[in-house]
Copies of this chain bind each other. A is one copy, B any other.
Amino acid sequence: MTAKLVYDFDEYCEGGRDVLGGKGLGLAEMTALDLPVPAGFTITTEACRHYLADHGPLPADLREEIEQHLALLEERTGQRFGDPANPLLVSVRSGGPVSMPGMMETVLNLGMGDAVIRQAQPEAVHFLLDDYRRLIQMYGEVVAGIDSALFAKELEAFEARDHNETPTHDDLNELVDAFRGIYLDATGTDFPQDPKEQLFAAVAAVFDSWNAPRAQVYRKTAGISEDAGTAANVVQMVFGNRDSRSATGVCFSRDPATGEPGLYGEFLSEAQGEDIVAGTRTPLPVAEMRAVLPEAHAQLVTAVAELERHYRDMQDVEFTVESGRFYLLQTRGAKRTATAALRTAVDMAGEGLLSRDEAVQRIDPAQLEQLLHPTIDPRAELVVVATGLCASPGAACGLAIFDANTAAARSADGEDIILVRPETTADDIHGLLPAQGILTARGGMTSHAAVVARGLGKPCVAGCAALDIDLDERIARIGDVAIREGDPLTIDGTTGRVILGLAPLVEPEPDANLATILDWADDVRRLRVYANADTPLDAERARKHGAEGIGLCRTEHMFMAAERLPIVREMILASTVEERAAALEQLLPMQQSDFEGIFEAMAGLPVTIRLLDPPLHEFLPDPAEVEDLHIRERIESLREANPMLGTRGCRLGIERPEIYEMQIKAIVRAGQAVEQRMGVLPIIEIMHPLVAFASELEWLVELTARTVAEEGGLEYRVGTMIELPRAALRAGELAVHADFFSFGTNDLTQTTLGVSRDDAQGRFLTFYLQHGLLAQDPFQTIDVEGVGELVRTAVERGRATRPSIEIGICGEHGGDPASIAFCESIGLDYVSCSPFRVPVARLAAAQAVLAAGAAYVPAGG
């Protein structure tokens, strides 16, 4: 390797974040802005990659380059690394191109040793001893891999002994000796006194932490490249614990919960950063710094304002004040709630910091879901008994149930339940599916329960270690609190809280900033956003959320209504043509009235009606519960081995034309009635499902035209779902007969991948996601390489035959931002998603345009 592998914070690096990592880049940029940053340098991600590829050790030329920068650092600080009289202490801090909070290692106070203590000024001894024991502990854990419990136990004993008084030098000396003893016992060698040995070992350990199992799992989940590597930042130590004019703190440039402008954060006098995290002392609001450390406070205000101007985004900074002198240690984009993100974006556009397009780009569409899930009423008094991982957002209430069979049974009885398990496995899937929420004692963000819950869009709190479940006694304990099976319980997957009783939930409130951002998004996006809606109520809700039409109205849901099901069953089980005709005759006015309601709700906008899709046996009772032998046999004879691939969709419509004829009649009559009533002709699109062959569509288009004509005629368009691989491949032929295509990417994913969603979720698909065989759930985000190729092919072939054809997507991917970006990239005309996802889709569609740099221009257009 010949490239430059170490950059001082004041050196420009063309590679930016990829080379320096996020933390290194931030320090370099703050240095360039002349903000008060400790001196230091960054060892690049490239050095890390070489080191990992060679399986260590740090090569000689890298060591040399580090030593050169160390000399520069000594010069700048006027201290010397390893000089007991005037020691330079440094930290080594990891930082990759993409943030991996808590996953990677850091070692502080390097350069400390016996010699420094021996030569220390008396007033500094106490402080230096404290630093020394911290070094031994961190170095021992991170570099030598010593069990952290050994140090923790010793520290606990130390604090228990003398917790009312400030420890004496002797006390501290004893603790340092004890820690050195632990180090010796564990490694067989004394704690190293050579500062450079310490430094190089710490750099190597930081690099090694890239390959720690937890980091690998995190990267898999977050979709971070394994090849990125981490940088290592060597930073001059500054000490918030030096004296009474020292402090440390964290601070946001705006309120990360509400977005309200103004500093928001806290600080602790005479402390180091980890003391804030440990929670042994209570920090004060940052505003109170003005009284205690007025100059430092003024510097903080100025620096944060400067950083916001520079980054044009809300910042999250760490700072330290050492003997009155203010240092910024880190800055990064602030994590914030959806509410805060929206307000910040709108405010910054108002402040001239961002353009409207940029404001639109700043909102994570996935985060909008926070605003769409029910939350716990903030005014409610809650008994929070534990906190776990925020595994899947939203709040849920129900009875605590401790196994999947009981959960399935109680749910079937109509009760809301929370499934509470030590952990879940594939065998629990029948209990996970009907639960309102899931709570587990073990397992992390990629545990079975967490992955399944996110897949199902259900709230989940995972890894709640305080929870102790006794499956025999049917009781769960959290400390002294006992939760018996059947007790009411609430979980909040957004915050990780576990709450006794049924907390009051509130539906999300409308947010004016959301409306503003969506208006701006609408100005930018090219894709139209439709909704999937089956009832007039759904249609109204969709329109309220900004849907520009209905892309999928599933008529089978109308068949399922309680008062209609008996007639549907009569129709299916009829033994003569007359009986069947009579049942259909009864259903016709019911369907007609549904359609009238939807047409009225969507007046002026298109409504795409999909004719009956599921296999008939879905409407029939369990044959075991039927007394009549003839009917039971009839039901049995309709059973299918693989109903997903059986007599459903247009196959049904072709074999039993009377069903589709009834549905088309109902559509036409409803259209005529609404036109008469409102004076507006509904925009009607009739869609045929599960077409595989052009001959099917030709047959159905003819049946449609004939039936419409028999009813006196009406303007309509006719189209087909593209939800089978063959349909995608033969789209050129299908387009001869279709005014529009709508991709049913749920079924297209099932057939292209050969995966039954019902059978895969929580079973092998979850296993694949947990073990890294799949990076993402193909039912959430479209499988661009497989399914995506078929979609792209169908678009090209369909348009080649009929350039004017309208093409959309109505699978659940229609509401997924990554999938919407794909839809934009291949030039679809619209996406259709569930009504509550319409805002997400509007935003994502705009961002897709902005990310592409320009609106999609169709070939030849």
Contacts and interface: CB of A to CB of B under 8 A. Distances in A.
Interface stretch (A21-29, A162-170, A634-642): A634-642
Q: Provide the main secondary structure of the chain A interface.
A: helix
Interface stretch (A116-124, A556-564, A594-602, A759-767): A759-767
A646 interface: yes
Contacts of A786: 692, 725-726, 729-730
Copy number in the complex reads: 2
- Which of the listed residues A646, A730, A760 has the most CB atoms from chain B within 10 Å of its own CB? A646
A750 B724 CA distance: 10
A494 interface: no
B641 A641 contact: no
A829 to B, nearest CB: 24
A633 B637 CA distance: 26
Nearest to A767: B655
A645 interface: yes
Interface string A406-430: 0000000000000000000001001
A753 interface: yes
Interface stretch (A66-74, A693-701, A802-810): A693-701
A391 B699 CA distance: 28
Contact of A654 (B405, B640, B767): B767
B640 A759 contact: yes
Interface residues of A, number: 53
A646 B767 CA distance: 13
B764 A654 contact: yes
A793 B785 CA distance: 14
A824 interface: no
A690 interface: yes
Contacts of A427: 637
Given A430-B637, A647-B763, A725-B786, A692 B753 contact: yes
A32 interface: no
A650 to B, nearest CB: 10
A787 to B, nearest CB: 8
A755 B750 CA distance: 12
Interface string A622-658: 0000000000010001001111111100011011000
Contacts of A774: 693, 695
Contact of A633 (B405, B640, B654, B695): B405
A754 B645 contact: yes
Nearest to A428: B637
B725 A646 contact: no
A693 B759 contact: no
A773 B692 contact: no
Nearest to A430: B637
A773 B702 CA distance: 13
B754 A726 contact: yes
Interface string A766-803: 01100011100000000101110110000000000000
A645 B730 contact: no
Nearest to A783: B726
Contacts of A695: 768, 772-774
Contact of A693 (B750, B767, B773, B789): B773
A752 B755 contact: no
A756 interface: yes
Contact of A642 (B645, B783, B790): B645
Nearest to A773: B695
Name the residue in A693, A759, A789 with the highest tally of chain B Cβ atoms < 10 Å from its Cβ.
A759
A654 B651 CA distance: 35
Contacts of A645: 642, 644-645, 750, 754-756, 759-760
A758 B641 contact: yes
A751 interface: yes
A641 B696 CA distance: 26
A752 to B, nearest CB: 5
A747 interface: yes
A747 B642 CA distance: 13
Contacts of A753: 692, 724-726
A787 B725 CA distance: 9
A402 to B, nearest CB: 16
Nearest to A787: B726
A390 B641 CA distance: 31
Contacts of A787: 726
A726 to B, nearest CB: 4
A785 B729 contact: yes
Given A642-B759, A644-B645, A724 B696 contact: no
A646 B751 contact: no
Nearest to A726: B786
A758 B750 CA distance: 18
A90 B654 CA distance: 47
A651 B764 contact: yes
A754 B643 contact: no
A578 B722 CA distance: 48
B790 A640 contact: no
A743 to B, nearest CB: 14
B726 A759 contact: no
Contact of A690 (B643, B754, B785): B754
Instruction: Pick the most buried of A750, A751, A760: most chain B CB atoms within 10 A of its CB.
Output: A751
A647 B764 contact: yes
A658 to B, nearest CB: 15
A152 B512 CA distance: 89
A300 B730 CA distance: 55
A733 B405 CA distance: 42
Contact of A752 (B690, B751, B763): B751
A757 to B, nearest CB: 9
A64 to B, nearest CB: 40
A752 B752 CA distance: 7
A644 B645 CA distance: 9
Nearest to A650: B764
Contacts of A693: 768, 773-774
A726 B752 contact: yes
A425 to B, nearest CB: 10
Contacts of A637: 427, 430
Tell me which of A427, A725, A752 has the highest count of chain B C-beta atoms within 10 A of its own C-beta.
A725
Most B C-beta atoms less than 10 A away, residue of A645, A695, A751? A645
Contacts of A699: 773
Interface of A: 405, 427, 430, 633, 637, 640-647, 651-652, 654-655, 690, 692-693, 695-696, 699, 723-726, 729-730, 747, 750-756, 758-760, 763-764, 767-768, 772-774, 783, 785-787, 789-790
Given A642-B644, A643-B759, A725-B786, 20 more contacts: A640-B758, A640-B759, A641-B759, A642-B642, A642-B645, A642-B759, A644-B645, A645-B754, A645-B756, A647-B760, A655-B763, A692-B753, A692-B786, A693-B773, A699-B773, A724-B752, A725-B751, A725-B752, A725-B790, A726-B752
11 contacts: A642-B645, A643-B759, A644-B754, A645-B754, A692-B786, A695-B773, A723-B754, A724-B753, A725-B725, A725-B753, A729-B752
Ranked nearest first, the 10 interchain pairs of A and B with the lowest CB-CB distance are A645-B756, A726-B786, A646-B759, A642-B756, A724-B754, A725-B725, A651-B764, A641-B758, A640-B759, A695-B773
